[in-house]
Amino acid sequence: MQDNMIAERSKAGQAAQTLKVKPKWHMTVLHIVYYLILVLFLVFYMLPFWGALVSSFKSNAEAISTSPIALPQNFSMEGYSGAMDLLAVSLLNSLVVTIFGAAGSVFLGSICAYALGKWRFKLNNVFFIALIAATYLPFQAILIPLLKNITNYGLYDNIWGIVLAHSIFGMPMCTTMMRGYYSEVPDALIRQAMIDGNGMWQIYRKIVVPNTKLATITTFVFQCTSIWNEMLFALVLANQGEGAQAPLATIVLNSFVGSTGVEINQLMAGSMILALPMLIIYIFMGKYLISGQMSGAVTAS
């Protein structure tokens, strides 16, 4: 059906081309102004990124002495090699925390979303409202009790403690997102599966999850981004500095700005390394993410 629609649209596009009318002069001027404004904002937005990118390929001396947006005169990878040395362990930690934290919260969220989206039970609205409220809960508000809890479980300064925190605190957001998708699974399908001899959880496993892969992917990527970029849990739930057991990349990167001065090229190279995985995910998954978010998932709340 989608193919048909695309075909229809391209037909309409051709028709529009043949019917092209020369625009009036003031419309042309307006268009130019629009584009100027757009370009201006784009430059403003991209300039810091550009600065970070070019600086990461400079030697430290050059990075300090030249304009931050000038192209490197001597192309150098020393920033990257230095940054990799410092970040290697923490990047691996971050990767583990991101993947398991996102998987955990998507798993929990998916189960909650299924129960809330497809089944009626007492107080289900109360549960849902509580979950939405939890989505807007500022983490700062619960930091101290969370820290005490994690310490009690013996998970302080342990990446699995951070994974646990992310799994649980990411769950409300995942539930909200996935409930939107699950409520689009037709009720007739659920009824049919019941008639075919399946219980509530068999239906979840065999019908709902396989038919909402897009929801799972979208929510997973969404969670990955926020966990990968997150700093607060990473900072509070783990020991920092010498002897740290669970340093995460976001925190380690910031500790580059040390007491002995700043290696700007290393810092910028580190930033690039940190930004890269999410950039890659978005480039490859962008298509799914857009269609996923369009189908009412994120706006479900």
197 is a site residue for another protein (CB under 8 A) = yes
Among residues 73 and 192, whose Cβ is nearest to another protein? 192
Return the DSSP state at 139: G
Q: Taking CB under 8 A as the rule, does residue 198 contact another protein? A: yes
Beta bridge partners of 261: 258
Q: How many CA atoms lie within 13 A of 244 on its CB side?
A: 20
Rounded to the nearest 5°, which phi and psi values hold at 236? -85, -35
Q: Answer yes or no whether residue 192 interacts with another protein by CB under 8 A.
A: yes
211 is a site residue for another protein (CB under 8 A) = yes
User: For residues 171 and 135, what is the distance between their CA atoms, to the nearest angstrom?
Assistant: 8
CA atoms within 13 A on the CB side of 26: 0
Residue type, 141: A
The single-letter DSSP state of residue 255 is: T
- Based on the shown chain and the rule CB under 8 A, indicate whether residue 210 belongs to the binding site for another protein: yes
The window from 58-66, 114-122, 201-209, 231-239 that contacts another protein (CB under 8 A) reads 201-209
CB of 180 to another protein, least distance (A): 18
**What is the per-residue binding string for another protein in 160-189, x denoting contact by CB under 8 A?**
--------------------------x-xx
DSSP state of 208: I
Residue 81 or 125 with smaller CB distance to another protein: 125
Shortest Å, Cβ 108 to another protein = 23
Residues 6+ apart with CB under 8 A from 128: 116, 179
Under the binding rule (CB under 8 A), the answer on residue 202 touching another protein is yes
Pick one of 112, 193, 264, 267: the residue that binds another protein (CB under 8 A): 193
Cα–Cα distance measured from residue 134 to residue 131, given in angstroms and rounded to the nearest whole number: 5
Nearest approach, Cβ of residue 216 and another protein (Å) = 13
Residues that bind another protein (CB under 8 A): 186, 188-189, 191-199, 202, 206-207, 210-211
